[in-house]
Chains A and B, each alone.
Chain A
């Protein structure tokens, strides 16, 4: 036993050196080159957040975040199946991105200045705007965050959500007992069993989780938000080509909706479009995106195979889904929301 202990010790310096070698990204080859050579995008999704990223009964990943990755695959390969879904716990996502195990994170991680600037991450765009609030059992007779003084609150460890929760109670001079979890599934199970009085995160995620509760009707998602949050995919800092590619696809999805281009009419418009902006978007004029290696007509393919942002939203989280989320801040700018794309020229 002692002999073994001592022998294993050699692993310590060896591990140090190997660990460093693995965590320092290889200089050669960009993310885009790597994706092209394996013909597959490695998309880091959640462990199952219905509406955003969750496998359906047949094991196929479905959701808003999932369709963003599919749109990327269509833009690059004209085939939305060219995605390798990598399901990760929150604490694993940043190490996985840094080590190159995944090309992008697409699982509802909040944008903060610190993450963008100090942590070597880039947020190429926005998939939804939100804020943070609480879900409580209706039996608790609590409807506003201000009534939660002294409560036990379930929260995911190390998240921006945890920091916001903390800021809120500090600002109000309230006390709370945190019940910090590492695993999302376990946290919501524990909440359902009454381990905490409230659970906190953004309303879309709460709605998503509530939709699979045993008695969704027994739980209230508070209307009042305690923060503003911006959510979108995350890529590693320092690879402009890949970041631009993700960025232009996100813009493209919004621009498609702005111009009323849908899955249904895209094929027709590809032949008949006369408006210059639409012709440029669909690849009938100009070569937008060629600079980062996208082929002519990539956005038209995205429109045909995935659809525009509004369609993706409505299909996965909109009013007619179990999540039933209104567009709100996520409507187009011309409808009073915050979604906007620069002109395609």
Chain B
């Protein structure tokens, strides 16, 4: 980690890399000492979990080990975070374009929307979204949309592509069979996180676009480029490069905020860790694991985006 960052120039100075290295070393040493001292123990990781998790992307049952539950939790953080980040980019692009159209009612509405989303705590937004999804009908009385999409208060059942063609969800007894299910907890979390991040991203992008010097527009016009082409070929690439550093912290926030899923019953890393804590009593060890996991995820996101930015700078900068 540190060796790589030393080679990447201005964003990672040797001093910073050394700091990270010393801190990581000190943390590991502290943990090792506590483990060796018998204050901490990690044997609970291999013990049978004895609890079920509602949303997992890897197969998990109560007879699996706690470590597997933690892995499922980390995977949930990564998937929800990534999914929400991609959606946030799409939403942000839309919001920015609406904002730049110059059409007064559209601009005003977009501005109001962005202000509201940024001004209301994310937790409230996620809970509000969750309760709206809870108001959907139960599977037994849900009417399929276009025969192949079931929106219920148990989850959103989407058509799934299989070898034999498209498989549609269908009601079977208590539950829905077939199709691809996204729980309403996950839907509310992904939607809440992405809209919230999009509001911030669109402002960053708008600022970056407006910050590209007017001379660039003039120069492009002098070369005979039409305004639309100027925007996409000259202005936007420069604005995108400039907006990556501030956007990095927004993306890091998306991953960290997946822990708000606990408020709506989404089985994120925090909820799984709470279950393990109450069953095994290993509060300190679990909190350390959660901290380390979130740090690694965020550090990867930061580093990845920074490297991406470096590459763009080399190419366009």
Q: What is the distance, in angstroms, from B48's C-beta to the closest C-beta of chain A?
A: 10
Cβ-defined contact, B50 with A94, below 8 A: no
B271 at the interface (CB under 8 A from A): yes
Cβ-defined contact, A186 with B276, below 8 A: no
Output the nearest chain B residue to A4 by Cβ-Cβ distance. Answer: B249
Output the nearest chain A residue to B278 by Cβ-Cβ distance. Answer: A158
A328 at the interface (CB under 8 A from B): no
**9-residue interface stretch from A10-18, A45-53, A63-71:** A10-18
Residues of B within 8 A of A (CB): 11, 16, 19-20, 23, 26-27, 29-31, 34, 39, 50-54, 62-63, 131, 134-135, 138, 153-154, 173-175, 184, 245, 248-249, 262-265, 267, 271, 274-281, 283-284, 287-288, 291, 295, 302
Given known contacts A16-B31, A155-B52, what 5 new A-B pairs fall within 8 Å (CB)?
A94-B277, A118-B281, A119-B281, A152-B175, A180-B271
Complex CA distance for A16 and B23, rounded to whole angstroms? 12
**5 A-B interface contacts by CB (under 8 A):** A13-B27, A152-B154, A170-B62, A193-B135, A193-B153
Which residues of A are found within 8 Å of B245, using beta-carbon distances?
Answer: 1
Which of A5, A152, A194, A197 has a CB less than 8 Å from the CB of B302? A5
Which residues of A are found within 8 Å of B274, using beta-carbon distances?
Answer: 91, 157-158, 182
Cβ-defined contact, A94 with B278, below 8 A: yes
Count A-B contacts at CB 8 Å.
Answer: 139
Cβ-defined contact, A16 with B51, below 8 A: no
Complex CA distance for A190 and B54, rounded to whole angstroms? 14
Which residues of A are found within 8 Å of B23, using beta-carbon distances?
Answer: 9-10, 12-13
Output the nearest chain A residue to B39 by Cβ-Cβ distance. Answer: A20
Cβ-defined contact, B265 with A158, below 8 A: no
Q: Evaluate whether A190 and B134 lie within 8 angstroms (CB atoms) in the complex, with A20-B34, A166-B62 already known.
A: yes
Which residues of B are found within 8 Å of A149, using beta-carbon distances?
Answer: 174
Q: Evaluate whether A158 and B279 lie within 8 angstroms (CB atoms) in the complex, with A16-B30, A194-B153 already known.
A: yes
Cβ-defined contact, A163 with B283, below 8 A: no
Which residues of A are found within 8 Å of B265, using beta-carbon distances?
Answer: 179-183, 186-187, 190
Which residues of B are found within 8 Å of A36, using beta-carbon distances?
Answer: none
Residues of A within 8 A of B (CB): 1-3, 5-6, 9-10, 12-13, 15-17, 19-20, 23-24, 90-91, 94-95, 98, 118-120, 149-152, 155, 157-159, 162-163, 165-166, 170, 177-183, 186-187, 189-190, 193-195, 197
Output the nearest chain A residue to B17 by Cβ-Cβ distance. Answer: A6
Complex CA distance for A158 and B73, rounded to whole angstroms? 14
Which residues of B are found within 8 Å of A151, using beta-carbon distances?
Answer: 174-175
Complex CA distance for A160 and B134, rounded to whole angstroms? 27
Cβ-defined contact, A179 with B54, below 8 A: yes
Q: What is the distance, in angstroms, from A142's C-beta to the closest C-beta of chain B?
A: 10
Which residues of B are found within 8 Å of A95, using beta-carbon distances?
Answer: 277, 283
Q: What is the distance, in angstroms, from B98's C-beta to the closest C-beta of chain A?
A: 28
